[in-house]
Structure 1
């Protein structure tokens, strides 16, 4: 009997158990999918595989909701605390491990606008790993041993020795302070406003106009900044409007600091990639998996 139990434990689908517990606690496959940063279908398939493994139905399914069966309630009561205990033990070991870090090479604006607002999630999942952010506008260099992973837009200027991974898709939007954008119902209204631009993204305005079919449009004035971070802050403060990537805008749009008056006029942009240094440690691969999970999260509506 003990050999049979050991074989069962060795083949227990732990990812499916995790999906079941999330769905059982939420009483919803949809909410569980959001918690786990996967799709509704992925949760459904994982739960189904667990039911097939156990040989019992764990949920009663209807059109708009799921409900635990008696077997599902028993499994939740027994498996939930056990998996929580395993997770707590893992966090304790990770927290006690000394000197674990991942060094992340990113551009300054991406660090401020995308990475840092999300880092608390990584730290919560991996409390023993210290994320060290190294900002640079230079292309990643394979001979540089000061970083483990680099994130940049596009595939140009990457050294051949770095393992490249597609990361984040992106588009650019017209944005400004809500009070300034309130009267913008068509592109022609921008002629009465000031354009805010970054030296590093000077083609975005012309590219957006071309994409929107309004090449002749001219704003009343223009202010140029060194970095996109300054542009976005100026837009938040009401100095004018700008064209900027959604990847850098998501938090400001969600919190109401910026508004997009013409959400259907979206400029396609090159996607982000991350490159892993040949000498990267195991912590780097955990961080890269976390990056992938963040990229899979549904985009916030504009």
Structure 2
């Protein structure tokens, strides 16, 4: 019954502290003091009659009772947030929240969004970027897109979006200066790499049946869209998923000197939130049609 509810501000503070296993980070998220979070959780523990956290010097760990309580209330809080969002949507422009990794947003989704907005001017796409595994209890979304179907929470069912493979690319000016006619010629170049795809060059070399030089110069960047910009600027060779190349090959900004050496990659998958907006299906159908065009266009 409603009269049996614990203090809701205390529940909110507990949920934040449980997510981070830290009272300090919970305080930052809620814009309150550390002591305020501590007081809320103590009040909640007194109300429930159980210990929710094991306090340590630098960390606060959930007790078994705290873990069980968190699993239940996180779902309830998400439902409350979704209900509020649904009311907000009803009173304003219809919105679809799309959760993607940064490079996929920059290189695949955002360049295509103008066509969606032209087709459906009454639907507002909202793009948020994240590298976390899909989980509605942690992040809000209508549609989530990730490479691979491992690590998804049970409340989101992954479905195939896009096939993909890895290609070797470079700026034409770079290859005019230092030609690349075979896989062995890679040893003459600087390699460009992304931190999120640290094993790409090793895997590609094994696929090409060549040995990489231990002292070969490598430039590393945080995200794949930065790697590609460095490649366009002629700083070195890049390995890039075909899905993220955009119009770089068509416009000649980049070329693929060894087109037969493609390394198959894990597919992209999409998932739909259980209580997603009705407009979500429209967005998904549009997205799937583009993915089909991409696949059909790969030679």
TM-score of the pair, normalised by structure 1: 0.65
Residue in structure 2 matched with residue 283 of structure 1 by the alignment:
279
What SS does the corresponding residue of 2:158 show, helix, strand or coil? strand
Q: Is the Cα contact below 8 Å between 1:170 and 1:268 reproduced in 2?
A: yes
Whether 1:108 aligns to 2:63 is: no
Task: Decide which of 150, 158, 166 is 2:144's aligned counterpart.
Answer: 150
| Aligned mates of 1:234, 1:282 — CA distance in 2 | 40
- Superposition pairs of residues 1-302 of structure 1, within 5 angstroms: 98-144=92-138, 146-182=140-176, 183-217=179-213, 220-299=216-295, 300=297
Q: What is the CA-CA distance between 1:217 and the residue it aligns to?
A: 5.0
Once the two structures are TM-superposed, the CA of residue 98 in structure 1 deviates from its matched residue by: 3.7
SS of the equivalent of 1:254 reads coil
- Name the structure 1 match of 2:58: none
- What's the secondary structure of 2:128's corresponding residue? strand
User: For the residues of structure 2 that align with 1:153 and 1:143, how far apart are their CA atoms?
Assistant: 20
Deviation at 1:282, TM superposition (A): 0.8
Change (3 A) 1:196 1:142: same
Q: Distance in 1 between matches of 2:227 and 2:212?
A: 23
Structure 1 residues without counterparts, runs of 5 or longer: 1-96
Unaligned runs of 5+ in 2: 1-90
Shift in CA distance, 111/219, structure 1 to aligned 2, threshold 3 Å: farther
Tell me, in whole angstroms, the C-alpha distance in 2 between the residues paired with 1:231 and 1:145: 28
How many residue pairs were aligned?
Answer: 206
RMSD: 1.7
